[in-house]
Homo-oligomer: A and B are copies of this chain.
């Protein structure tokens, strides 16, 4: 989900948020996730749809707060990961970030082109390319931290503080619970 158009997202990423309320009036709360009725579950009652929207909104907030850095959320995630554990190979990064291996290479290339990371061959395993932050990369990562953080806070602002941890915890449980998905399930051999 890329959003960056030209250079600097002068217009940070509209997220194409609907001006008009996307949420119809009546929320009868009865689209039953346990029963089998659910005669006609509308869009705004589908978690998948809501997740896409909220994810988009996070993008918009991220770009709004981090305007001028020209770094995407995924890129910042990668910077953070390298910041925590330096000299990581691309496969490990992929697992850490939850993105595809080839995609990691793309992101690394973009970051490398801008001098934020550098790569070199691993010594123990010469097949691997270990990535690490450059001094510039460290500087940017640090400099962006508060902006990124503000985006996270603004995202959760609409719900009372007491609910925020619960929400995050639910997200984590849902991710953990579905984590068996992915390449592990349909191994590249079959299919």
Chain A positions near chain B (C-beta within 8 angstroms): 1, 10-12, 14-23, 27, 29, 33-34, 38, 41-58, 60-62, 64, 73-74, 77, 80-81, 84, 94-101, 103, 148-149, 151-159, 161, 163-165, 167-186, 188, 191
Contact = CB atoms under 8 A, between A and B. Distances in A.
A179 B17 contact: yes
Nearest to A151: B48
A17 B29 CA distance: 31
Contacts of A186: 10-12, 14
Copies in the complex: 2
B178 A98 contact: no
Interface centre among A84, A157, A183 (most CB of B within 10 A): A183
B16 A182 contact: yes
A62 B154 CA distance: 29
A77 B16 CA distance: 15
A172 B44 contact: yes
B73 A49 contact: yes
B57 A55 contact: no
A179 to B, nearest CB: 5
Contacts of A17: 98, 178-184
Given A34-B161, A171-B51, A81 B43 contact: yes
A96 to B, nearest CB: 7
Between A18, A21, A80, A95, the greatest number of chain B beta carbons within 10 A of the residue's beta carbon is seen for: A18
A50 B14 contact: no
B174 A158 contact: yes
Given A16-B183, A184-B19, A175 B57 contact: yes
